[in-house]
Structure 1
Amino acid sequence: MSTLSHPSSRFQVSLPTRSIFAVPDGAGVGIECRSGSVWVTLDHDPRDIVLAPGESFEATDHRRVLVSALEPSCITVSDAQPAAMPLPPATRLRSPWRLPALGLSPA
């Protein structure tokens, strides 16, 4: 039996004061503050998460994550646990205005 392994990717981002780094889907993504101070917000989440050097946060939900630099900062971004976006219901995948593909073109 074989298992798929997903390499963990890590990269650093330098952020000037008041700049914003966005992660469209934060599920399983880790943010570590290396220097400075950053404010982490998630869409539709009332928490205020402020990270100082050495502190980290890992998102668990499929939400956009915004990392705002409160001062010149450096963060490490890692996808700690690869996550898959849930697929929309099959009814959303097909537009009611599209014809089934039958090898014909609409002239």
Structure 2
Amino acid sequence: MSASSSNTSRFHVNLPKRSVFTVPDGAGVGIECRSGSVWVTLDRDMRDIVLEPGDRFESTDHRRVLVSALEPSCITVSDAQPAAMPLPARSRAWSPWRLLPHGLSPA
């Protein structure tokens, strides 16, 4: 994760095919597709939002955002705050942004 000089936090996430990245509160968060293709879903939102390289989505709602990789992809996430999560006892290199492949996309 790197921060720019304007207090904007920004980091890149590599997503294997069919993996899901979650942003617990999407208000003010930007998702940009750098490579591949991702499906962005917001809780209680009926839209299908598919991002291709160069496309960007910004949320203004306080809703959970799920980013599902339709193929191996890379996204840039900006202005997100990590959720409070317990630290696993056996993982020394733990990060609140750790990606866990789920094998299923939200449907």
Q: Same fold (TM over 0.5)?
A: yes
Task: Tell me which residue corresponds to 2:84.
Answer: none
Q: After the TM superposition, which residues 8-19 of structure 1 pair with which residues of structure 2 at under 5 Å, given as runs?
A: 8-19=8-19
Query: How much has 1:79 moved relative to structure 2?
Result: 1.3
Q: After the TM superposition, which residues 28-107 of structure 1 pair with which residues of structure 2 at under 5 Å, given as runs?
A: 28-79=28-79
Give the TM-score taking structure 2 as reference length: 0.68
SS of match in other structure, 1:50 = strand
SS of match in other structure, 1:25 = coil
Give the TM-score taking structure 1 as reference length: 0.68
The sequence identity of aligned pairs, in percent, is: 80
Q: Which runs of 5+ in 1 are unaligned?
A: 1-5, 83-107
| Residues 6-15 or 19-28, more deviating | 6-15
Write the deviation string for residues 60-87 of structure 1: whole angstroms up to 9, x where unpaired: 100000000000000000018x9xxxxx
Task: State the aligned residue count.
Answer: 76
Which residue identity lines up with residue 46 of structure 1 in the other structure?
M
**Which is greater in Rg?**
1
